[in-house]
Amino acid sequence: MRVIESQARYWLGEYAEAERAAREALSSSDARIRLGALSGLFNGLGPQAKYDEVATLFRDLERPSSA
């Protein structure tokens, strides 16, 4: 539900709230939900001009998984 909340808040222009909901959804154990949450997080961060955080997230994604 947090992914859907993040998307709705993004479309309402509530970017900080969209970011918060997406960050909460990242803790899910379902890979599809985490992917949606990550997308929502990028969407929420962009309009807030948090480009350093976006770059950090991309760098983290580029690293090989330890699993």
pLDDT in tens, 40-57: 999 999 999 999 999 999
Residue 18 lies in a domain: yes
Domain around 54: 2-62
Number of domains forming the structure of the chain: 1
pLDDT in tens, 20-37: 999 999 999 999 999 999
**In this predicted model, which residue has the larger pLDDT, 65 or 60?**
60
Residue 50 lies in a domain: yes
At residue 33, φ and ψ (nearest 5 deg) are -70, -40
pTM, two decimal places: 0.83
**In this predicted model, which residue has the larger pLDDT, 67 or 28?**
28
Residue 48 lies in a domain: yes
Residue 67 lies in a domain: no
C-alpha to C-alpha distance for 29 and 10, rounded to whole angstroms: 23
- Tokens, residue 46: 């962009």
